[in-house]
Amino acid sequence: MQPPMNDTRPNAELIDIGVNLTSKRFDSDRHQVIERALDAGVRYCLVTGTDMADSEKAVRLCETMGVEYQNSLRCTAGVHPHEADQLSNETARQLLQLIQDNRDWIVAVGETGLDFNRNFSSPSAQEKAFEAQLELAAETGLPLFLHERDAHQRQFDILQHWRDNLSGGVQHCFTGDRRGLFRYLDLDLHIGITGWICDERRGLELQRLVKDIPLDRLLVETDAPYLTPRTLKPKPKSGRNEPAFLPAVIATIAEHRPECEQEIAIATSDNARRLFGFGE
């Protein structure tokens, strides 16, 4: 069944810079998910790697499904802060080797950063893993795919120390406050906006802030299968998000910025191409 879609969609090719396509929630219809994304105008998806095994799986998806569907997939490789306890010196060496062997597919280091909200890994382990992946980004020249929750000050301090050695990055799924936004912008980072902005309850602050993101620093993502836009009508029965719903994120962003959907679509895709090299 075709997923729900807003009636008004931008005509530009879209790039979803954050899709957890390795999730088990896509096991039954992963091919159809990509087909629906392409039908909805989402030309490229960046598949997120969250640990060593997941990063390897993301590469395999790029090699198989990505090639099958118009060379449409690229991926990240890294260890999420929730999994930071797994990042040993040996794992870091394996990650470096994976990146070096798969530069056609891996375009960013991450998902990495700090998450002090739930502390699935200890803060000290998270910081150690974060520093190790910053070193990987510096060595490979790849941009960062960053996660942060309830850890802005510490993440900012560490990034500030490393910034001169890094090629760039995106603060993925930004949900912070004005101070956090401008400090990440001061580090010359891009800002990723998800369906969080479509939430009439918890997305209000982001709706107020999104106009302050420079257009050349704005990126869009679904973070599928999570953060399904609440503006979708009808809502998907499964509740699962997917890349085909990216136009709904752009539509809500356009309600809170001076640009129209088409302008946002073009700009965010151009930004993603420059940062991650899509289409090269």
Q: 172 in a domain, yes or no?
A: yes
CATH code of the domain in which 255 resides: 3.20.20.140
Long-range contacts for 98-102 (Cβ within 8 Å, ≥24 apart)? 98/52, 98/55, 98/56, 98/59, 99/136, 99/140, 99/142, 100/140, 102/59, 102/62, 102/77
**pLDDT mean over 252-280:** 96
Confidence of residue 12 (pLDDT cuts 50, 70, 90): confident
Q: In whole angstroms, what separates CA 189 from the centre of its chain?
A: 13
Average pLDDT over residues 236-255: 97
The answer for residues whose C-beta is within 8 angstroms of residue 204's C-beta and 6 or more apart is none
User: CB of 227 within 8 A of CB of 173?
Assistant: yes
Residue 251 in any domain: the answer is yes
* Per-residue pLDDT at 5: 42
Asked if residue 95 belongs to a domain, the reply is yes
On the question of a cis peptide bond just before residue 135, with omega within 30 degrees of 0, the verdict is: no
Residues 247, 40: contact at Cβ < 8 Å? yes
Q: What is the pLDDT of residue 3?
A: 44
Sign of CA dihedral 235, 236, 239, 244: negative
Residue 12, classed as helix, strand or coil, is coil
Does residue 8 lie in a domain region?
A: no
**Average pLDDT of the chain?**
95
Q: Report percent pLDDT > 70 for the chain.
A: 96
Q: What is the pLDDT of residue 9?
A: 53
The answer to whether residue 4 sits within a structural domain is no
Q: Is the pLDDT of residue 8 over 70?
A: no
- What percent of the chain is predicted at pLDDT more than 90? 93
Averaged over 229-247, what is the pLDDT?
Answer: 95
224 has pLDDT over 70: yes
pLDDT at 1 over 80: no
| Total count of domains within the chain | 1
Gap between the terminal Cα atoms of the chain: 33
Q: Side by side, which strands form the sheet with 42-47?
A: 14-19, 42-47, 73-77, 106-115, 144-149, 169-171, 190-193, 218-220
Q: How confident is the model at residue 2, as a pLDDT?
A: 43
The CA distance from 165 to 156, in Å, is: 15
Spatial neighbors of 153 by CB under 8 A, at least 6 apart, are none
Give the helix ranges, DSSP H, for the chain: 30-39, 52-61, 67-68, 89-101, 123-140, 152-162, 178-186, 204-209, 246-255, 261-276
pLDDT digit string (tens) for 76-124? 999 999 999 989 999 999 999 999 999 999 999 999 999 999 889 999 9
Q: How far apart are CA 73 and CA 91, in angstroms?
A: 24
- Which residues fall within 8 angstroms of residue 191, CB to CB, at 6 or more apart? 170, 171, 174, 181, 184, 185, 213, 217, 218, 219
What is the pLDDT, as a whole number, of residue 10?
62
- For the CA atoms of 16, 22, 27, 31, the dihedral, rounded to the nearest 10 degrees, stands at 40
> How many residues are present in the chain?
280
* pTM for the whole structure: 0.95
Domain-located, residue 3: no
Helix-, strand-, coil-residue percentages of the chain, each rounded to 5: 50, 15, 35
Residues 46-72 pLDDT 10s = 999 999 999 999 999 999 999 999 999
- Taking Cα atoms as reference points, which of 88, 89, 19 lies closest to residue 57? 19
**Is 216 domain-assigned?**
yes
Instruction: Please give the residue range of the domain that contains residue 234.
Output: 14-276
With H, G, I as helix, E, B as strand and everything else as coil, classify residue 229.
Answer: coil
Q: Tell whether 196 is covered by a domain.
A: yes
